Amino acid sequence: MTLRYLILTALALIFWADPSAVAAVPDVCYAVGPTCHTDWFNLGSNGTIPDENAATAKEDTTHRYRPGGSGPAGPESELRKKRRERGGVMSLATVYRDVNVQRDADYWDYDTLEVSHSDLSRYGFGKKIGRGTFSNVYLGVDARENKQVIIKRLKSKMDMRKIRREIKVLQALSGGPNIIGLLDVSQNMDTGKTSFIFEYVNNADWRELFPTFTLDNIRWYLFEVLKALEHAHKNGIMHRDIKPHNIVVDYPKRKLRVIDWGLGEFYHPNKEYNVRVASRHFKGPELLVNLRDYDYSLDIWSLGCVMAGMVFKKDKFFEGADNDDQLVKIAYVMGTKDLDAYVAKYGLTLNATQRAIIGERSRKPWIKFKNEDNAHLYVPDAIDLIDRMLVYDHQKRITAKDALAHPFFDPVRDGNDLEASSGIVDDNGKMDDIVIDL
């Protein structure tokens, strides 16, 4: 006799004696499809959700909760329960909410992904062009194909789960507009270290590129990034680290790629995600106030920061010294009235440090950031788009799809420049090589 059988029998007896007593059953529910499931009552002994329409419930491997892993939302955290007690709204994506609910687990389940490797000896290493916490990046050559590539060599401390996740995300987005192409996953047979092999883009340093951009250059750049984000979002994926460093451009050839999908994640409704994502100066307010059920709109805030930096000619439009100070810098521009309304709506609270430093601030009009250097970029449509991206309440931000239809992009939407989204074709009908500089 299983524990589950005893629990269900006890509940049946309680209900027979007093039907109203069922209200005592915990009411924390998680969306795992069209129905709502109480986490411990409806889950089978193997942690799966029974098929309520079947005469005999069978294991549902499509929507299985794994603690700390891929897949649907699991038991609610204490933080989220407190938000409920305060009357806070539980956040859900306003678009593409059920993309991964409606797809088989094979699409988003990176925990069970079996990674096959080629032999790294196929690739020759060139100069080191980038480094990060978990990887070093090199120019390389594919000896078999005789073409340039980018080699992202992962460090030994890299979590295998994160490796699987990045591969799964890149596989899901493969061939999409302006998504960097993963060509191969390779392994050093002596050390066991994994390397990602990417297509090659002759990237210009954004610090040198941005100061030269005209308004039309900015339009083209942002439009191409938004196409990549819309493709990701409609396929149920958040990037979670949009910043100039992760957007590479060969501008003379009009080639742009969104790179570094290492923090990319599949969106599941009601799932609580790690807020320690995105680079500090591009973090959305949701991360800074510890709202964990965020969604695709995080990428829109980050891109809004990029756009504001380009238009107002500031490398980092919100430049905080740490995460608390980052929220302070945002509040100095966006004001505290909307910030207070935001945290109250979602049942959140600011920490003591944030509250003490921020105080009360009025919102600054965008005109305050206009000066002689950026006046030629300060046009109504640009300011309106920034205003729709940089909104405290993530559910009220413009979506990538709607942003693509914004009047700011009218001059480039149907122009020849848009051919760059799928690459430039040379005289021989072959795609130009693409390079990444991280």
* Tokens describing residue 175: 């061939």
**Identity of the amino acid at 383:** I
Phi/psi at 178 (5° precision): 65, 25
Q: Which residue has the tokens 């050559």?
A: 141
**123-131 and 255-258 as β-strands: parallel, antiparallel, unpaired?**
unpaired
How many Cα neighbours within 13 Å face the side chain of 249?
Answer: 23
Give residue 299's identity as a one-letter amino acid code.
Answer: D
Residue type, 279: S
**What is 29-78 written as a DSSP string?**
EEESSSSEEETTTSS-TTS----TTSSS-----SS---TTSSSS--SPPH
Closest among 392, 400, 398, 394 to 361, alpha carbons compared: 392
Which tokens belong to 163? 């490796």
Contact (CB, 8 A) for 316 and 351 = no
Residues with Cβ within 8 Å of residue 268, at least 6 apart in sequence:
71, 72, 73, 100, 101, 108
Q: What is the CA radius of gyration of the chain?
A: 24
User: Which of 109, 241, 250, 295 is an active site residue?
Assistant: 241
**433 flagged as catalytic:** no
- Phi then psi for residue 106, to 5 deg, are -55, -25
Torsion of CA 231, 237, 242, 244, to 10 degrees: -40
Instruction: State how far the Cα of 255 lies from the Cα of 241, in Å rounded to an integer.
Output: 20
Relative to beta strand 182-187, strand 118-119 is: parallel
Q: Which two tokens stand for residue 46?
A: 């193997």
Residues that are catalytic:
241
